[in-house]
Structure 1
Amino acid sequence: MAPQGEVRDEVAAFVKKVGQLARPNADEDGRLLFAMDATMSRQPTWDMAMSLQAGMFQAIPKDSALQVQLIYFRGLGECRASKWVLDAAALARLMSTIACQGGNTQIGKVLAHARDEHRKRRIHAVVYVGDAIEESVDALCAKAGELGLMGLPLFVFQEGRDSRVEAAFREFARLSKGAYARFDSSAPQQLADLLKAVAAYASGGRAHLKLQSSGAARALLTQIEGR
Protein backbone atom coordinates (compact mmCIF):
# COMPACT_ATOMS: atom_id res chain seq x y z
CA MET A 1 0.00 0.00 0.00
CA ALA A 2 1.14 3.55 -0.68
CA PRO A 3 2.13 5.69 2.31
CA GLN A 4 -0.65 8.04 3.38
CA GLY A 5 1.60 11.07 2.84
CA GLU A 6 2.39 10.02 -0.71
CA VAL A 7 -1.28 9.61 -1.55
CA ARG A 8 -2.08 13.02 -0.03
CA ASP A 9 0.68 14.66 -2.09
CA GLU A 10 -0.63 13.12 -5.30
CA VAL A 11 -4.18 14.16 -4.48
CA ALA A 12 -3.02 17.71 -3.77
CA ALA A 13 -1.20 17.84 -7.11
CA PHE A 14 -4.28 16.50 -8.87
CA VAL A 15 -6.49 19.10 -7.20
CA LYS A 16 -4.15 21.89 -8.26
CA LYS A 17 -4.33 20.81 -11.89
CA VAL A 18 -8.11 20.48 -11.87
CA GLY A 19 -8.35 23.97 -10.42
CA GLN A 20 -6.71 25.30 -13.58
CA LEU A 21 -9.45 23.93 -15.84
CA ALA A 22 -11.37 26.48 -17.84
CA ARG A 23 -14.96 26.77 -16.61
CA PRO A 24 -17.72 26.24 -19.18
CA ASN A 25 -19.54 29.35 -20.33
CA ALA A 26 -22.70 30.11 -18.42
CA ASP A 27 -24.80 29.36 -21.48
CA GLU A 28 -23.25 25.98 -22.27
CA ASP A 29 -23.32 22.67 -20.42
CA GLY A 30 -20.14 21.30 -18.94
CA ARG A 31 -19.15 17.97 -20.48
CA LEU A 32 -17.21 15.23 -18.70
CA LEU A 33 -16.07 11.98 -20.35
CA PHE A 34 -15.55 9.19 -17.81
CA ALA A 35 -13.45 6.26 -19.10
CA MET A 36 -12.84 2.92 -17.36
CA ASP A 37 -10.63 -0.11 -17.91
CA ALA A 38 -12.93 -3.08 -17.21
CA THR A 39 -10.47 -5.86 -18.03
CA MET A 40 -9.93 -8.80 -15.68
CA SER A 41 -6.85 -7.39 -13.94
CA ARG A 42 -9.10 -4.94 -12.09
CA GLN A 43 -11.39 -7.65 -10.70
CA PRO A 44 -9.82 -7.92 -7.19
CA THR A 45 -10.79 -4.35 -6.25
CA TRP A 46 -13.61 -3.81 -8.72
CA ASP A 47 -16.44 -3.45 -6.18
CA MET A 48 -14.53 -0.81 -4.22
CA ALA A 49 -13.62 1.01 -7.42
CA MET A 50 -17.21 0.99 -8.63
CA SER A 51 -18.42 2.41 -5.34
CA LEU A 52 -15.97 5.31 -5.49
CA GLN A 53 -16.54 6.05 -9.16
CA ALA A 54 -20.33 5.87 -8.92
CA GLY A 55 -20.14 8.12 -5.85
CA MET A 56 -18.60 10.81 -8.03
CA PHE A 57 -21.98 11.45 -9.59
CA GLN A 58 -23.67 11.93 -6.22
CA ALA A 59 -21.95 15.32 -6.03
CA ILE A 60 -23.77 16.64 -9.08
CA PRO A 61 -26.80 18.75 -8.09
CA LYS A 62 -30.04 17.75 -9.81
CA ASP A 63 -30.31 21.17 -11.45
CA SER A 64 -26.73 21.14 -12.75
CA ALA A 65 -25.77 21.53 -16.38
CA LEU A 66 -23.17 18.77 -16.59
CA GLN A 67 -23.39 16.25 -19.39
CA VAL A 68 -21.59 12.99 -18.70
CA GLN A 69 -20.64 10.17 -21.02
CA LEU A 70 -19.31 6.80 -19.88
CA ILE A 71 -16.90 4.77 -22.03
CA TYR A 72 -15.36 1.46 -21.02
CA PHE A 73 -13.47 -1.43 -22.60
CA ARG A 74 -13.14 -5.11 -21.77
CA GLY A 75 -13.06 -8.56 -23.37
CA LEU A 76 -12.04 -9.19 -26.97
CA GLY A 77 -12.23 -5.75 -28.54
CA GLU A 78 -15.35 -4.54 -26.74
CA CYS A 79 -15.31 -0.75 -26.26
CA ARG A 80 -18.63 0.96 -25.63
CA ALA A 81 -19.73 4.50 -24.97
CA SER A 82 -23.04 5.65 -23.53
CA LYS A 83 -25.02 8.61 -24.76
CA TRP A 84 -24.30 12.05 -23.33
CA VAL A 85 -26.78 12.38 -20.49
CA LEU A 86 -27.75 14.74 -17.69
CA ASP A 87 -29.13 11.89 -15.57
CA ALA A 88 -26.06 11.11 -13.47
CA ALA A 89 -28.00 8.61 -11.35
CA ALA A 90 -28.71 6.52 -14.43
CA LEU A 91 -25.03 6.49 -15.34
CA ALA A 92 -24.10 5.45 -11.82
CA ARG A 93 -26.53 2.55 -12.08
CA LEU A 94 -25.06 1.59 -15.44
CA MET A 95 -21.57 1.57 -13.97
CA SER A 96 -22.72 -0.79 -11.21
CA THR A 97 -23.82 -3.37 -13.80
CA ILE A 98 -20.49 -3.57 -15.62
CA ALA A 99 -18.48 -6.73 -14.93
CA CYS A 100 -14.81 -7.28 -15.74
CA GLN A 101 -13.87 -9.51 -18.66
CA GLY A 102 -10.46 -10.75 -19.75
CA GLY A 103 -8.79 -8.91 -22.61
CA ASN A 104 -6.15 -6.36 -23.53
CA THR A 105 -6.33 -2.63 -22.87
CA GLN A 106 -7.88 -0.36 -25.50
CA ILE A 107 -6.73 3.05 -24.30
CA GLY A 108 -6.07 4.14 -27.87
CA LYS A 109 -9.75 3.73 -28.68
CA VAL A 110 -10.69 5.82 -25.64
CA LEU A 111 -8.37 8.67 -26.62
CA ALA A 112 -9.53 8.58 -30.25
CA HIS A 113 -13.16 8.68 -29.10
CA ALA A 114 -12.42 11.66 -26.84
CA ARG A 115 -10.75 13.47 -29.75
CA ASP A 116 -13.67 12.84 -32.10
CA GLU A 117 -16.30 13.87 -29.54
CA HIS A 118 -14.35 17.02 -28.66
CA ARG A 119 -14.27 18.01 -32.32
CA LYS A 120 -18.06 17.81 -32.42
CA ARG A 121 -18.47 19.83 -29.23
CA ARG A 122 -16.08 20.80 -26.49
CA ILE A 123 -15.42 18.34 -23.65
CA HIS A 124 -14.10 20.00 -20.51
CA ALA A 125 -12.29 17.02 -18.99
CA VAL A 126 -11.63 13.30 -19.41
CA VAL A 127 -11.25 11.13 -16.31
CA TYR A 128 -9.57 7.76 -16.97
CA VAL A 129 -9.25 4.93 -14.43
CA GLY A 130 -7.03 1.93 -15.16
CA ASP A 131 -4.14 -0.24 -14.04
CA ALA A 132 -2.35 -1.55 -17.12
CA ILE A 133 -1.10 -0.78 -20.63
CA GLU A 134 -0.79 -3.41 -23.36
CA GLU A 135 -0.47 -1.01 -26.28
CA SER A 136 2.33 1.08 -27.77
CA VAL A 137 3.10 3.78 -25.20
CA ASP A 138 4.56 6.04 -27.88
CA ALA A 139 1.38 5.81 -29.95
CA LEU A 140 -0.74 6.61 -26.90
CA CYS A 141 1.50 9.55 -26.04
CA ALA A 142 0.93 10.94 -29.53
CA LYS A 143 -2.83 10.74 -28.99
CA ALA A 144 -2.55 12.34 -25.53
CA GLY A 145 -0.48 15.15 -26.99
CA GLU A 146 -3.12 15.72 -29.64
CA LEU A 147 -5.73 16.13 -26.92
CA GLY A 148 -3.48 18.62 -25.18
CA LEU A 149 -3.23 20.71 -28.34
CA MET A 150 -7.02 20.65 -28.55
CA GLY A 151 -7.38 21.90 -24.98
CA LEU A 152 -8.77 18.62 -23.63
CA PRO A 153 -7.01 17.53 -20.40
CA LEU A 154 -6.75 13.93 -19.20
CA PHE A 155 -7.07 13.26 -15.47
CA VAL A 156 -5.60 9.81 -14.98
CA PHE A 157 -6.13 7.57 -11.94
CA GLN A 158 -3.85 4.56 -11.65
CA GLU A 159 -4.92 1.53 -9.66
CA GLY A 160 -1.88 -0.40 -8.42
CA ARG A 161 1.84 0.34 -8.35
CA ASP A 162 3.24 -0.83 -11.71
CA SER A 163 6.11 1.60 -12.33
CA ARG A 164 5.93 1.27 -16.12
CA VAL A 165 2.23 2.10 -16.08
CA GLU A 166 2.83 5.01 -13.73
CA ALA A 167 5.49 6.53 -16.00
CA ALA A 168 3.19 6.26 -19.01
CA PHE A 169 0.11 7.60 -17.20
CA ARG A 170 2.08 10.56 -15.89
CA GLU A 171 3.25 11.30 -19.42
CA PHE A 172 -0.31 11.10 -20.79
CA ALA A 173 -1.37 13.63 -18.16
CA ARG A 174 1.56 15.93 -18.88
CA LEU A 175 1.10 15.86 -22.64
CA SER A 176 -2.62 16.58 -22.39
CA LYS A 177 -2.06 19.30 -19.73
CA GLY A 178 -4.04 17.23 -17.22
CA ALA A 179 -3.02 15.49 -14.01
CA TYR A 180 -2.16 12.08 -12.53
CA ALA A 181 -3.02 10.48 -9.20
CA ARG A 182 -2.73 6.98 -7.79
CA PHE A 183 -5.99 5.15 -7.17
CA ASP A 184 -5.08 3.44 -3.91
CA SER A 185 -7.38 1.36 -1.72
CA SER A 186 -5.49 2.55 1.38
CA ALA A 187 -7.10 6.00 1.06
CA PRO A 188 -10.51 5.46 -0.58
CA GLN A 189 -12.26 8.41 1.08
CA GLN A 190 -9.67 10.91 -0.12
CA LEU A 191 -10.02 9.74 -3.69
CA ALA A 192 -13.80 9.55 -3.45
CA ASP A 193 -13.89 13.16 -2.23
CA LEU A 194 -11.61 14.22 -5.05
CA LEU A 195 -13.83 12.58 -7.66
CA LYS A 196 -16.85 14.34 -6.20
CA ALA A 197 -15.00 17.66 -6.18
CA VAL A 198 -14.09 17.27 -9.86
CA ALA A 199 -17.72 16.52 -10.73
CA ALA A 200 -19.02 19.44 -8.69
CA TYR A 201 -16.60 21.89 -10.28
CA ALA A 202 -17.23 20.65 -13.82
CA SER A 203 -20.99 20.91 -13.32
CA GLY A 204 -21.23 24.39 -11.85
CA GLY A 205 -17.91 26.01 -11.02
CA ARG A 206 -17.32 27.59 -7.62
CA ALA A 207 -20.98 27.71 -6.62
CA HIS A 208 -21.40 23.93 -6.79
CA LEU A 209 -17.96 23.27 -5.37
CA LYS A 210 -18.82 25.30 -2.26
CA LEU A 211 -21.59 22.81 -1.54
CA GLN A 212 -18.94 20.15 -0.91
CA SER A 213 -17.46 19.94 2.59
CA SER A 214 -14.48 17.66 1.92
CA GLY A 215 -10.86 18.72 2.24
CA ALA A 216 -10.35 17.93 -1.44
CA ALA A 217 -13.18 20.28 -2.38
CA ARG A 218 -11.83 23.05 -0.15
CA ALA A 219 -8.36 22.66 -1.63
CA LEU A 220 -9.80 22.81 -5.13
CA LEU A 221 -11.82 25.90 -4.29
CA THR A 222 -8.72 27.58 -2.87
CA GLN A 223 -6.85 26.92 -6.10
CA ILE A 224 -9.66 28.32 -8.25
CA GLU A 225 -10.18 31.45 -6.15
CA GLY A 226 -6.44 32.07 -6.04
CA ARG A 227 -6.20 32.49 -9.81
Structure 2
Amino acid sequence: MKKLPKSKSSVGEFLEAAKRFPVPRDSQTRLIFAMDATQSREPTWDLATSLHAELFTTARQEDLAVQLVYYRGHFDFFATHWNDSAGGLLQTMQRVQCLAGITQISRVLSHTIKEAQQSSLKALAFVGDACEEEPKKLYDLAGQLALYRLPAFMFQEGHNPYVAQVFGGIAQLTNGAHIPFQPGSAQQFAELLRAVAAYATGGVDAVKNLRGKFTQQLLEQLQS
Protein backbone atom coordinates (compact mmCIF):
# COMPACT_ATOMS: atom_id res chain seq x y z
CA MET A 1 0.00 0.00 0.00
CA LYS A 2 1.31 3.47 -0.87
CA LYS A 3 2.20 5.74 2.08
CA LEU A 4 0.57 9.14 2.41
CA PRO A 5 2.85 12.13 1.66
CA LYS A 6 4.33 13.89 4.71
CA SER A 7 5.42 17.28 3.32
CA LYS A 8 4.19 19.90 0.88
CA SER A 9 6.79 18.91 -1.67
CA SER A 10 5.89 15.26 -1.35
CA VAL A 11 2.20 16.19 -1.64
CA GLY A 12 2.97 17.78 -4.99
CA GLU A 13 4.89 14.75 -6.12
CA PHE A 14 2.05 12.52 -4.98
CA LEU A 15 -0.52 14.52 -6.97
CA GLU A 16 1.66 14.54 -10.06
CA ALA A 17 2.05 10.77 -9.84
CA ALA A 18 -1.70 10.35 -9.42
CA LYS A 19 -2.30 12.23 -12.68
CA ARG A 20 -0.50 9.49 -14.58
CA PHE A 21 -3.14 6.93 -13.66
CA PRO A 22 -6.22 6.77 -15.92
CA VAL A 23 -9.45 7.97 -14.39
CA PRO A 24 -12.78 6.42 -15.50
CA ARG A 25 -14.96 8.75 -17.60
CA ASP A 26 -18.11 8.91 -15.51
CA SER A 27 -19.77 11.17 -18.09
CA GLN A 28 -20.01 8.34 -20.62
CA THR A 29 -21.87 5.11 -20.02
CA ARG A 30 -20.14 2.10 -21.51
CA LEU A 31 -21.47 -1.26 -22.64
CA ILE A 32 -19.50 -4.23 -23.95
CA PHE A 33 -21.33 -6.07 -26.74
CA ALA A 34 -19.58 -9.42 -27.16
CA MET A 35 -20.30 -12.09 -29.76
CA ASP A 36 -19.14 -15.51 -30.81
CA ALA A 37 -17.86 -15.01 -34.38
CA THR A 38 -16.96 -18.60 -35.18
CA GLN A 39 -18.07 -20.09 -38.50
CA SER A 40 -21.53 -21.30 -37.47
CA ARG A 41 -22.37 -17.86 -36.10
CA GLU A 42 -22.40 -16.02 -39.44
CA PRO A 43 -26.21 -15.82 -39.76
CA THR A 44 -26.46 -14.36 -36.25
CA TRP A 45 -23.63 -11.93 -36.95
CA ASP A 46 -25.50 -10.68 -40.01
CA LEU A 47 -28.62 -10.35 -37.88
CA ALA A 48 -26.76 -8.40 -35.21
CA THR A 49 -25.29 -6.11 -37.86
CA SER A 50 -28.76 -5.29 -39.16
CA LEU A 51 -30.13 -4.65 -35.65
CA HIS A 52 -27.17 -2.97 -33.96
CA ALA A 53 -28.84 0.45 -34.03
CA GLU A 54 -31.29 -0.78 -31.38
CA LEU A 55 -28.52 -0.27 -28.83
CA PHE A 56 -28.43 3.46 -29.55
CA THR A 57 -32.07 4.26 -30.32
CA THR A 58 -33.22 2.88 -26.97
CA ALA A 59 -30.44 4.50 -24.95
CA ARG A 60 -30.09 8.18 -24.28
CA GLN A 61 -28.14 9.21 -27.32
CA GLU A 62 -25.55 11.30 -25.52
CA ASP A 63 -24.74 8.67 -22.90
CA LEU A 64 -23.88 5.36 -24.51
CA ALA A 65 -20.61 4.09 -25.95
CA VAL A 66 -20.38 0.48 -27.14
CA GLN A 67 -17.29 -1.66 -27.50
CA LEU A 68 -17.59 -4.65 -29.82
CA VAL A 69 -15.73 -7.73 -28.57
CA TYR A 70 -15.56 -10.96 -30.54
CA TYR A 71 -13.56 -14.13 -31.01
CA ARG A 72 -13.14 -16.46 -33.96
CA GLY A 73 -10.75 -18.89 -35.65
CA HIS A 74 -7.70 -20.22 -33.85
CA PHE A 75 -7.68 -18.00 -30.77
CA ASP A 76 -8.34 -14.75 -32.62
CA PHE A 77 -9.70 -12.23 -30.12
CA PHE A 78 -10.61 -8.61 -30.81
CA ALA A 79 -11.87 -5.63 -28.84
CA THR A 80 -12.68 -2.50 -30.85
CA HIS A 81 -12.47 1.14 -29.85
CA TRP A 82 -15.50 2.66 -28.15
CA ASN A 83 -18.29 3.60 -30.57
CA ASP A 84 -20.73 6.32 -29.57
CA SER A 85 -22.87 6.11 -32.70
CA ALA A 86 -24.69 3.42 -34.65
CA GLY A 87 -22.77 4.35 -37.79
CA GLY A 88 -19.38 3.77 -36.21
CA LEU A 89 -20.39 0.39 -34.83
CA LEU A 90 -21.90 -0.64 -38.17
CA GLN A 91 -18.67 0.03 -40.05
CA THR A 92 -16.77 -2.15 -37.59
CA MET A 93 -19.24 -5.03 -37.75
CA GLN A 94 -19.37 -5.04 -41.54
CA ARG A 95 -15.63 -5.67 -41.73
CA VAL A 96 -15.75 -8.83 -39.60
CA GLN A 97 -15.60 -12.27 -41.21
CA CYS A 98 -16.63 -15.28 -39.14
CA LEU A 99 -14.07 -18.10 -38.96
CA ALA A 100 -14.21 -21.66 -37.61
CA GLY A 101 -12.83 -22.07 -34.10
CA ILE A 102 -13.63 -22.77 -30.46
CA THR A 103 -15.30 -20.59 -27.86
CA GLN A 104 -13.26 -18.05 -25.88
CA ILE A 105 -15.76 -16.89 -23.29
CA SER A 106 -13.07 -16.79 -20.61
CA ARG A 107 -11.21 -14.15 -22.62
CA VAL A 108 -14.40 -12.12 -22.95
CA LEU A 109 -14.87 -12.16 -19.18
CA SER A 110 -11.20 -11.39 -18.48
CA HIS A 111 -11.29 -8.44 -20.88
CA THR A 112 -14.49 -7.17 -19.27
CA ILE A 113 -12.86 -7.26 -15.84
CA LYS A 114 -9.98 -5.13 -17.13
CA GLU A 115 -12.37 -2.60 -18.64
CA ALA A 116 -14.36 -2.46 -15.41
CA GLN A 117 -11.19 -1.46 -13.59
CA GLN A 118 -10.60 1.60 -15.76
CA SER A 119 -13.87 2.87 -17.20
CA SER A 120 -17.50 3.55 -16.35
CA LEU A 121 -18.59 0.17 -17.67
CA LYS A 122 -22.19 -0.71 -16.81
CA ALA A 123 -22.81 -4.13 -18.33
CA LEU A 124 -21.66 -6.97 -20.55
CA ALA A 125 -23.99 -8.34 -23.20
CA PHE A 126 -22.83 -11.64 -24.69
CA VAL A 127 -24.43 -13.52 -27.59
CA GLY A 128 -23.54 -17.14 -28.33
CA ASP A 129 -24.83 -20.68 -28.67
CA ALA A 130 -21.96 -22.84 -27.40
CA CYS A 131 -19.45 -23.31 -24.59
CA GLU A 132 -16.35 -25.48 -25.00
CA GLU A 133 -14.58 -24.33 -21.86
CA GLU A 134 -14.24 -25.45 -18.25
CA PRO A 135 -17.24 -24.01 -16.37
CA LYS A 136 -15.32 -23.56 -13.11
CA LYS A 137 -12.91 -21.11 -14.72
CA LEU A 138 -15.82 -19.15 -16.17
CA TYR A 139 -17.57 -19.07 -12.80
CA ASP A 140 -14.39 -17.82 -11.11
CA LEU A 141 -14.17 -14.97 -13.61
CA ALA A 142 -17.87 -14.21 -13.17
CA GLY A 143 -17.27 -13.94 -9.44
CA GLN A 144 -14.60 -11.33 -10.12
CA LEU A 145 -17.04 -9.38 -12.29
CA ALA A 146 -19.49 -9.40 -9.41
CA LEU A 147 -16.97 -7.50 -7.28
CA TYR A 148 -17.42 -4.57 -9.67
CA ARG A 149 -21.22 -4.91 -9.56
CA LEU A 150 -21.11 -5.56 -13.29
CA PRO A 151 -23.96 -7.75 -14.59
CA ALA A 152 -23.45 -10.15 -17.48
CA PHE A 153 -26.42 -10.52 -19.82
CA MET A 154 -25.98 -13.92 -21.43
CA PHE A 155 -28.16 -14.16 -24.54
CA GLN A 156 -28.23 -17.77 -25.70
CA GLU A 157 -29.23 -18.57 -29.24
CA GLY A 158 -31.08 -21.89 -29.06
CA HIS A 159 -31.81 -24.12 -26.08
CA ASN A 160 -28.82 -26.40 -25.53
CA PRO A 161 -29.17 -27.60 -21.89
CA TYR A 162 -25.45 -27.57 -21.11
CA VAL A 163 -24.97 -24.08 -22.54
CA ALA A 164 -28.02 -22.92 -20.61
CA GLN A 165 -26.50 -24.23 -17.38
CA VAL A 166 -23.17 -22.45 -17.93
CA PHE A 167 -24.66 -19.19 -19.20
CA GLY A 168 -27.19 -19.24 -16.38
CA GLY A 169 -24.42 -19.71 -13.83
CA ILE A 170 -22.46 -16.74 -15.16
CA ALA A 171 -25.57 -14.57 -15.12
CA GLN A 172 -26.52 -15.59 -11.60
CA LEU A 173 -23.05 -14.96 -10.18
CA THR A 174 -22.95 -11.45 -11.67
CA ASN A 175 -26.57 -10.57 -10.83
CA GLY A 176 -27.29 -10.37 -14.54
CA ALA A 177 -29.68 -12.38 -16.70
CA HIS A 178 -29.66 -15.43 -18.96
CA ILE A 179 -32.19 -15.32 -21.79
CA PRO A 180 -32.44 -18.01 -24.51
CA PHE A 181 -33.93 -16.82 -27.80
CA GLN A 182 -34.98 -18.44 -31.05
CA PRO A 183 -32.19 -18.71 -33.66
CA GLY A 184 -32.68 -16.17 -36.44
CA SER A 185 -35.46 -14.26 -34.70
CA ALA A 186 -34.95 -10.58 -35.46
CA GLN A 187 -37.83 -9.55 -33.22
CA GLN A 188 -36.54 -11.40 -30.16
CA PHE A 189 -32.95 -10.30 -30.69
CA ALA A 190 -33.97 -6.66 -31.14
CA GLU A 191 -35.97 -6.77 -27.92
CA LEU A 192 -32.97 -8.08 -26.00
CA LEU A 193 -30.69 -5.37 -27.41
CA ARG A 194 -33.18 -2.68 -26.43
CA ALA A 195 -33.44 -4.06 -22.91
CA VAL A 196 -29.71 -4.22 -22.26
CA ALA A 197 -29.16 -0.73 -23.68
CA ALA A 198 -31.91 0.60 -21.44
CA TYR A 199 -30.31 -1.05 -18.42
CA ALA A 200 -26.86 0.32 -19.24
CA THR A 201 -28.07 3.91 -19.43
CA GLY A 202 -30.94 3.94 -16.95
CA GLY A 203 -30.75 0.87 -14.75
CA VAL A 204 -33.68 -1.31 -13.75
CA ASP A 205 -36.12 1.61 -13.81
CA ALA A 206 -35.43 2.17 -17.51
CA VAL A 207 -36.07 -1.50 -18.29
CA LYS A 208 -39.42 -1.25 -16.51
CA ASN A 209 -40.55 1.25 -19.14
CA LEU A 210 -40.14 -1.32 -21.92
CA ARG A 211 -42.58 -4.02 -22.95
CA GLY A 212 -42.11 -7.56 -24.20
CA LYS A 213 -41.86 -11.17 -23.07
CA PHE A 214 -38.07 -11.29 -23.03
CA THR A 215 -37.79 -7.89 -21.39
CA GLN A 216 -40.02 -9.15 -18.60
CA GLN A 217 -37.86 -12.26 -18.17
CA LEU A 218 -34.76 -10.11 -17.96
CA LEU A 219 -36.39 -7.79 -15.45
CA GLU A 220 -37.52 -10.66 -13.24
CA GLN A 221 -33.98 -12.02 -13.06
CA LEU A 222 -32.52 -8.61 -12.25
CA GLN A 223 -34.98 -8.19 -9.40
CA SER A 224 -34.70 -11.72 -7.99
2:186 matched to which residue of 1?
188
- Give TM-score scaled by structure 2 length: 0.74
Query: Aligned-pair distance for 1:162?
Result: 1.4
The Cα RMSD (Å) is 3.0
Aligned with 1:137 (options 135, 138, 149): 135
Aligned with 2:150 (options 149, 152, 158): 152
The alpha-carbon distance between structure 1 residues 165 and 46, as it changes in their structure 2 partners (threshold 3 A), is same
Mean Cα displacement is larger for which, 89-98 or 60-69? Answer: 60-69
Amino acid at match of 2:42: Q
Amino acid at match of 1:126: L
Query: Aligned-pair distance for 1:187?
Result: 4.6
Aligned with 1:124 (options 107, 115, 122): 122
Say yes or no: does 1:30 pair with 2:33. no
Amino acid at match of 1:154: A
In 1, are the aligned partners of 2:157 and 2:180 still within 8 Å (CA)? yes
Secondary structure of 1:102's counterpart equals: coil
1:167 matched to which residue of 2?
165
Aligned length in residues: 195
- The percent identity for this pair of structures is 41
2:82 matched to which residue of 1?
84
Which ranges in structure 2 are unaligned for 5 or more consecutive residues? 1-25
Larger radius of gyration: 2
2:71 matched to which residue of 1?
73
Query: Aligned-pair distance for 1:192?
Result: 0.7
The alpha-carbon distance between structure 1 residues 50 and 88, as it changes in their structure 2 partners (threshold 3 A), is closer
In 1, are the aligned partners of 2:179 and 2:214 still within 8 Å (CA)? no
2:11 matched to which residue of 1?
none
Runs of 4+ in structure 1 deviating by more than 2 angstroms, as ranges, are 43-52, 55-58, 60-63, 185-188, 200-210, 212-220
User: How far apart, CA to CA, are the structure 2 residues paired with 1:169 and 1:206?
Assistant: 21
Using CA pairs below 8 Å that are at least 6 residues apart, which structure has the higher relative contact order? 1
The alpha-carbon distance between structure 1 residues 42 and 124, as it changes in their structure 2 partners (threshold 3 A), is same
Which ranges in structure 1 are unaligned for 5 or more consecutive residues? 1-26
2:50 matched to which residue of 1?
51
